[in-house]
Amino acid sequence: MIGNFIVGGSSQLVVDIIEGTSDEYEHKIAVFSLSGLVGYQPLDIREFTIKDLRALREWLQDENPELVHIHYFVRDSDKYEEGALWYETVFRICEDIALKVVQNVNIPTHPNASSSVVHNVFVSHYVERNFNNSPAPFSVIYPGSDFSHFKNDDIDSLPPKAIGMVYRLDNDKLRSDAIEVFIQVARRDPEITAYIVGGGFFLEGFIRRVREEKLQDRITLTGFVPYDKLPAMYRQFSIFIAPVHDESFGQVTPFAMGMGMSVAGYNTGAIGEILASDETLAQTGDVDGLAEIIVDLANDSRRRKKLGAANHERAFKKFSVDQMVQEYRDLYTSLLSK
């Protein structure tokens, strides 16, 4: 059960779990909103809007699943939004017909307090430490990355004075002033080029700021890039920039680590946990401080490569899709044996 199903993020997490455990389990997906084309096929996926909750209850009762795995995306401030009411009713249905629920908490929010929940899964220790107010047993399972795609064993092949970031350009994780980091870096070092990969609400504003600063030849904004094209984009730079204000996990950073990149960003959320260091992190919102870190990295090839190699090793050890799937398989086995 998941609010919507789009390419990337938690939708990719669901797909990876299905692909990794389909030899043992049959999976079906229910969503609140299914807009546009689903980027993953074939999937047994059904839409139940807020008007179709009686049909959802009947469907769950007929299917009688051994586990219901709910990916929860309701921030504490959004409890009266339509999507939040959908989630709340889903939990009540599971209570009513006595279904076991695994609840994934994939954003910085408190888990739903439903009595149907037999286990909570948090995507980082940061989220668990700061938001776990549930008495239910819990695990921290990092979302896994497919390093058969995001892999680079030749760190020297990455352009030394090129930086980039890959995010949806909206206020989910970024602020409208995230572009200022790239502008500051370009001002400080005329040899550094930058790539901003992603589309979203902030894209037009970012483009306008780059034009105002006459930096179109230094800062490239690509707009939306399909998932299968992302590895080629990552190879255009050697330092990944994470100027985020909120980060529960974020696979784009492990993708960069798998490519052998150093990472610089704001010290917020799970970024330091992912890197196991705050060495290349600035205080959240400190544009000048982050720009200084980036320029120093770009001009210190030895340090940049050393950090890239350490990140590469950590990514494969901690954040692979195989590791994640095995942890979910073990969890399912444990819960179904009780």
Q: Within this chain, do residues 201 and 214 fall inside the same structural domain, yes or no?
A: yes
Residue 228 and residue 248 in one domain: yes
The predicted pLDDT at position 228 comes to 86
Residue 54 belongs to domain spanning = 2-144+321-336
Answer yes or no: do 242 and 331 share one domain.
Answer: no
Q: Which pLDDT score, from 0 to 100, does residue 11 have?
A: 84
Pick from 135, 121, 7, 19: nearest CA to 72? 121
Q: What is the pLDDT of residue 153?
A: 87
Q: What string of H, E and C letters represents the secondary structure of the chain?
A: CEEECCCCHHHHHHHHHHHHHCCCCCCCEEEEECCCCCCCCCCCEEECCHHHHHHHHHHHHHHCCCCEEEEECCCHHHCCCHHHHHHHHHHHHHHHCCCCEEEEECCCCCCCCCCCEEEEEECCHHHHHHHCCCCCCEEECCCCECCCCCCCCCHHHCCCCEEEEECCCCCCCCCCCCHHHHHHHHHHCCCCEEEEEECCCCHHHHHHHHHHCCCCCCEEEEECCCHHHHHHHHCCCCEEEECCCCCCCCCHHHHHHHCCCEEEEECCCCHHHHHCCCCCEECCCCHHHHHHHHHHHHCCHHHHHHHHHHHHHHHHHHCEHHHHHHHHHHHHHHHHCC
For residues 40 and 102, membership in a common domain is answered with yes
Residue 130 lies in a domain: yes
Q: Are residues 313 and 325 in the same domain?
A: no
pLDDT of residue 8: 62
Q: Is residue 149 part of a domain?
A: no
Question: pTM to 2 decimals?
Answer: 0.90
* Residue 310 and residue 165 share a domain: yes
Domain co-membership, 70 together with 57: yes
Report if residue 150 sits inside a domain.
no
**What domain count does the chain have?**
2
Question: Residue 5: its pLDDT value, please?
Answer: 80
pLDDT values of the chain reduced to their tens digit, one per residue, 338 residues = 998 887 567 888 898 999 999 999 999 999 998 765 555 557 889 999 999 999 999 999 999 999 999 999 898 788 778 989 999 999 999 999 999 999 999 999 999 999 999 999 999 999 999 999 999 999 999 999 989 989 998 999 999 999 999 999 998 899 999 999 999 999 999 999 999 999 999 999 999 999 999 999 999 999 999 888 999 999 999 999 999 998 899 889 999 999 999 999 999 999 999 999 999 999 999 999 999 999 999 999 999 999 999 999 999 999 999 999 999 999 999 999 87
Say how many Å lie between the first and final Cα of the chain, rounded: 22
| 214: CATH | 3.40.50.2000
pLDDT score for 10: 82
Same domain, yes or no: 199 and 259? yes
> Quick one: pLDDT at residue 338?
79
92 shares its domain with 200: no
Same domain assignment for residues 29 and 118? yes
At 122 the pLDDT is: 97
Are 167 and 312 found together in one domain? yes
